[in-house]
Structure 1
């Protein structure tokens, strides 16, 4: 399992086993920027990881010549990037890029997928805006965080929410953990040492060539971000880390209720 340095998170890798993870993002490439190092560490340890990309990324890119094929291009980029960190199971909700809302259509899709996969961890973009770097807080990113958080509690574990799902055989499920990325630094309570997986993360990000007008600046920013994350975690100099806000959803002390 990944080497975790924990400040205040209730998650303890020595105690809490992870076998399945379901990751949510707004656009192709969001997961790679936010958590590809952690995902590479998980898959290398035998963890089954699935992706759900909520939009097709149709408003992304910089080249007008790509407009007619941008959706297919970005899907292909995400597939190749995912494979580099050991992920082959990718789902799409096919919402319109820039128009994502935490509505019941989206929440139902999230509940359906969580009940199908029944992961130990749901990894999602954060619902809170990052005022220090507002580019992390694209409205679609915030919508992902809000939709997933609303779905995780109470809908996923409430058998009477979206009753047609239970009627189709998708029983209610109590999710143990919610891990949020790309949120405000003050919410970070868990850091993953991804030093051994920086290369895989950068390879995955490089695949998204349609999104990078300045590749050198992008790579420098990503490296600097991981080094800064390691410093905030208190890791030794020369290490790299990804940061998360980990929330215990259901555990020994959870009180059931809707």
Structure 2
């Protein structure tokens, strides 16, 4: 599924913290929105444990939310939901899962985008416990809860009927799970600008940008894209496709 495919009309993207989506998928998101795709963000934690400044931290969550809103606008996204869970303590609970199911049923996306639930031993920084929890919560919400009419019946009573998600794309996946690359060469500047907005998280902006650019170029080489290309890579999982066998 390419980002400009006509059948992709709506995408719902989940992250554990403000800035996660921008590091993992802002280029792809920008390509989608440029093609007219409607993208919604959901940030699960308040980001209150982020940054490097000691002292008064009472405004950290507000600052990071504003950074995320500004970064999202650069990628063409204006619809953002903040669940407000405590940074570093995101847990796979029925309460959080229900919130995610409700949002999936409300948005009814063609693609759900999420962090990966498996630990990446090659780069453990990609596997913050909140990242893993985000991936597990979203996976449970996508299947079977969102499509099971008997899961969270109170949602159906609110008019949020069961919905079958066609595709689940993970970013930050272990390398052996990656099976899909998106050429984001035309959107690298947008991605870097979106990441740069999260100024509270970057003690070394130049180093960060160099590392991101090198990663994007390595992704492109690994997936056989032309020399000089940049790519974001995903573990794309077909949940309800033409090949899916129905049932719980």
Tell me the TM-score normalised to structure 1 length. 0.94
SS at match of 2:240: coil
Q: Distance in 1 between matches of 2:208 and 2:100?
A: 30
SS at match of 1:174: coil
Deviation at 1:15, TM superposition (A): 6.6
C-alpha distance 14-79 of structure 1, shift in aligned 2 (>3 A): closer
Find runs of 4+ consecutive structure 1 residues off by over 4 angstroms. 12-16
Q: 1:224 to 1:12 in 2, by over 3 A?
A: closer
Q: Which residue of 1 aligns with 2:129?
A: 139
Unaligned runs of 5+ in 2: none
| Whole-angstrom distance in 2 between the partners of 1:31 and 1:247 | 18
Query: Which structure is higher in RCO with an 8 Å CA cutoff and minimum separation 6?
Result: 1
Residues 66 and 16 (structure 1), Cα distance of their counterparts in 2 relative to 1, 3 Å cut: farther
**Partner residue of 1:38?**
28
Tell me which of 12, 20, 24 is aligned to 2:10.
Answer: 20
* 1:84 equivalent in structure 2: 74
1:222-233 aligned within 5 A: 222-233=212-223
Q: Deviations over 1:45-78 (max 9, x none)?
A: 0000000000000000001145121011000000
Deviation at 1:92, TM superposition (A): 1.0
Among 26, 39, 54, the alignment partner of 1:49 is 39
Q: CA–CA distance in 2 between the matches of 1:15 and 1:196?
A: 17
Residue of structure 2 in register with 1:3 after alignment: none
Instruction: Pick closer, same or farther for the CA change 1:101–1:81 going to 2, 3 Å.
Output: same
Distance (Å, rounded) in 1 between the aligned partners of 2:91 and 2:222: 32
Secondary structure in 2 matching 1:255: coil
Deviation at 1:12, TM superposition (A): 5.9
Q: TM-score, normalised by structure 2?
A: 0.98
Give the gaps of 5 or more residues in structure 1.
Answer: 1-10
* Residues 194 and 12 of structure 1: CA distance in aligned 2, closer, same or farther (over 3 Å): closer
2:149 to 152, 159, 169: 159
Give, in angstroms, the shift of residue 253 of structure 1: 2.3
Say if 1:159 and 1:118 are closer, same or farther in 2 by CA, change over 3 A: same
- Counterparts of residues 164-243 of structure 1 (less than 5 Å): 164-243=154-233
Q: Hey, what's the Cα distance between the residues in 2 that align with 1:31 and 1:13?
A: 16
